[in-house]
Amino acid sequence: MTAKPGIRAVHYDDFCQGNHHQRRGNRSMSSLLRSIIGCLWAAAFYPSAAVAQEPAKEVLIGYVAPLDDPDAASGAQAAQMAIEETNAAPVRIGNINVSFKLLEQNDKADTRAAERIAHYLAKTEAVAVVGHWTSTTSIVAAPIYTEAGIAQLAPIAWSSLYTQVAGKSHFQGVGSDDLAMYYAVDYLSSSLFLKRVMVIDDSALLGVSMANSFEKYAKKAGMETLRRSVSTQTSDFNSPLLIAKQFRSELILFTGRGAQSAVLAGSMKRLGVSSRLLLTGPVVSPEFLTKINYSDEDLYAIVPGPPKDGNAKIQNFRKRYVARFNREPAPFAMFAYDCTLTLISAIKKADSLDRRRIIASLYEVNYSGLSGVMSFNRDGTLKNPSYTLYQTEKSRWTVRKTIKAPV
């Protein structure tokens, strides 16, 4: 700033640090008073200098997932990108400057590790948690977060059992599996005229829950069903697939994760099983089809959210993600991004870092995310969720139906 003629330019630091000429010896009381008055004068006339020196309070948001899993790790990167984009502009909560920091924890999709981490986060200064990644770990952690009064927003825990856990602090970032299976059966039964279907679950909580829902709706639609279960760790699908062949199943539903889904699809080709295959894991990517060398048009998948290339927001997110991490985002990464920004939106709306006020704010928030508007019912379920049904066509995934649940 240029001083006016006859007026010396005064800097805030000159006053507050006492860097002005004084006589040698102890500072006199009058000198000290002049210094204090000078500080107050500088703060009044140069408020930006005072604000600029105010340190930002670090606000922790937990992120819990099996970070060894590529899909969950991609979600962590997307959440980190949301944090960085938020911190790029000044944020004030409760009249103080804040900056957000992601506190990552690896629960390895293990329930005991999930419980241990939930207890740890409850004792930290974390104001909310994005996680956990699987339905099983999200469910076991929910009572711990409820007792601690800390908000838990699970990005892809779409088991309907999750929001049935007692308490009001856990929220679902995607629509429920029960609704997804209802829509899948409704579409496939009318378009493929199915009569016999085989359901194979992976024995995990979400897999069993999905299989139960699909079987329920398939029977209501007049289909004959056959049910089998496998281990979450198995790579041997010979027995259930040979049974499916004898049963002359027209469609097989498998509710396992991406890696097992790839093994199952390959095993079907090897054994000559001609059934169509419906998957529910994070499989809608070119990499998945390349991995299994799949070019037929009998592979289906139903996943939460809108089409992955469905709007400009998602495309822009993908470009920013690739520029930041030099890789494509995993199919479910955008949900971690949305959930992180939804929590931040709730914190801003509450204008508070108090955990319980943040929980209350989440019931009022309406955040427009990549996957749609993030807004919650009183039971923590997502309002008006969407789902997308894909089918393979010419070695790529093609959208067959986009479903928007009614409000």
What is the spatial distance between Cα 295 and Cα 395, in angstroms, rounded to a whole number?
Answer: 4
pLDDT tens digit sequence for 359-391: 999 999 999 999 899 999 999 999 999 999 999
Confidence at residue 42, expressed as pLDDT on a 0 to 100 scale: 44
**HSE-CB of 276 using CA atoms within 13 angstroms:** 20
CA 406 centroid distance within chain: 22
Q: Tell me the average pLDDT across 14-30.
A: 43
What is the spatial distance between Cα 263 and Cα 269, in angstroms, rounded to a whole number?
Answer: 10
DSSP state of 178: H
Q: Tell me the average pLDDT across 124-139.
A: 96
The confidence band for 50, taking pLDDT boundaries of 50, 70 and 90, is very low
Confidence at residue 407, expressed as pLDDT on a 0 to 100 scale: 58
pLDDT at residue 22 greater than cutoff 50:
no
The confidence band for 53, taking pLDDT boundaries of 50, 70 and 90, is low
CB 398 within 8 A of CB 386: no
CB 313 within 8 A of CB 52: no
What is the spatial distance between Cα 244 and Cα 224, in angstroms, rounded to a whole number?
Answer: 12
What is the spatial distance between Cα 157 and Cα 130, in angstroms, rounded to a whole number?
Answer: 11
pLDDT tens digit sequence for 275-314: 999 999 888 888 888 888 876 778 999 999 998 777 899 9
CB 171 within 8 A of CB 152: yes
pLDDT at residue 357 greater than cutoff 90:
yes
The confidence band for 246, taking pLDDT boundaries of 50, 70 and 90, is very high
What is the spatial distance between Cα 133 and Cα 67, in angstroms, rounded to a whole number?
Answer: 9
Of 126, 89, 135, residue with least CA distance to 105: 126
Confidence at residue 405, expressed as pLDDT on a 0 to 100 scale: 78
pLDDT at residue 55 greater than cutoff 80:
yes
Q: Which of 40-44, 91-95, 220-224, 352-356 has the lowest mean pLDDT?
A: 40-44
The confidence band for 54, taking pLDDT boundaries of 50, 70 and 90, is confident
Confidence at residue 23, expressed as pLDDT on a 0 to 100 scale: 42
Residues of 114-132 as b/e, b for ≥16 C-beta within 10 angstroms?
bbebbeebbeeebbbbbbb
Tokens for 17, please give them.
Answer: 């640090």
pLDDT tens digit sequence for 325-334: 999 999 899 9
Of 163, 171, 184, residue with least CA distance to 403: 184
Q: What are phi and psi of 247, to 5 degrees?
A: -70, -15
Helical H runs in 193-257? 205-220, 238-247
- What percent of the chain is modeled with pLDDT above 90? 74
CB-based contacts of 92: which residues, under 8 Å, 6+ apart?
A: 98
What is the spatial distance between Cα 164 and Cα 172, in angstroms, rounded to a whole number?
Answer: 11
pLDDT at residue 25 greater than cutoff 60:
no
Confidence at residue 29, expressed as pLDDT on a 0 to 100 scale: 45
Which residue's entry shows tokens 């004084």? 22
Q: Is residue 378 exposed (0-12), middle (13-18) or buried (19+ Cβ within 10 Å)?
A: exposed
Residue 27 vs residue 262, higher pLDDT: 262
- In three-state secondary structure terms, 54 is coil
pLDDT at residue 45 greater than cutoff 60:
no
Q: Which of 58-62, 251-255, 270-274, 403-407 has the lowest mean pLDDT?
A: 403-407
The confidence band for 85, taking pLDDT boundaries of 50, 70 and 90, is very high
pLDDT at residue 11 greater than cutoff 70:
no
- In three-state secondary structure terms, 374 is strand
Q: Tell me the average pLDDT across 83-109.
A: 97
pLDDT at residue 153 greater than cutoff 80:
yes
**HSE-CB of 268 using CA atoms within 13 angstroms:** 26
Rounded mean pLDDT of the chain?
A: 87
Q: Is residue 286 exposed (0-12), middle (13-18) or buried (19+ Cβ within 10 Å)?
A: exposed
Helical H runs in 238-332? 238-247, 258-271, 286-292, 312-325
The confidence band for 320, taking pLDDT boundaries of 50, 70 and 90, is very high
pLDDT at residue 63 greater than cutoff 90:
yes
Confidence at residue 331, expressed as pLDDT on a 0 to 100 scale: 84
Residue 348 vs residue 30, higher pLDDT: 348
Residues of 314-324 as b/e, b for ≥16 C-beta within 10 angstroms?
beebbebbeee
**DSSP string spanning 62-110?**
EEEE-TTSHHHHHHHHHHHHHHHHHHTS-EEETTEEEEEEEEEEE-TT-
pLDDT at residue 104 greater than cutoff 70:
yes
CB 178 within 8 A of CB 186: no
At CA 181, angle to CA 68 and CA 155, rounded to 5?
Answer: 35
- What percent of the chain is modeled with pLDDT above 70? 86
The confidence band for 35, taking pLDDT boundaries of 50, 70 and 90, is low
CB 250 within 8 A of CB 192: yes
Tokens for 105, please give them.
Answer: 């924890």
